[in-house]
Amino acid sequence: MQLFLDLESGKLIVVVGGLRYSMACIDSKTIRAEPTLPEFDPTAAVTVDRDDFDAAEDVYRLDTVTHPYDPE
């Protein structure tokens, strides 16, 4: 196997036996940097009727889940 870099065309030439392959090389200057993500604040406030909440709790009660809520 022989490898040659053709700087003019930017291709890597691979020669194996009587076969010849050429592959375009990626210019590292064309690779984009990771995007800068905007700041994200996932906090939220939800108001649920207490009777609806109690009914939902009865349906989905799990002994490993707790949920604090303010009665106001």
How large is the average pLDDT for residues 29-41?
A: 83
**Residue written as tokens 């108001």?**
47
With a cut of 60, say whether residue 29 has pLDDT above it. Answer: yes
Query: What would the pLDDT profile of 37-58 be if each residue is shown by its tens digit?
Result: 888 888 888 898 999 888 877 7
pTM of structure? 0.38
| Whole-number Å distance between alpha carbons of 20 and 3 | 10
With a cut of 80, say whether residue 64 has pLDDT above it. Answer: no
| Whole-number Å distance between alpha carbons of 63 and 56 | 14
Spatial contact of 22 and 3, defined as CB atoms under 8 Å apart: no
Residue scoring higher pLDDT (52 or 72):
52
User: In the chain, what are the domain boundaries?
Assistant: 1-26
Q: Kind and range of the H or E element at 50?
A: helix 50-59
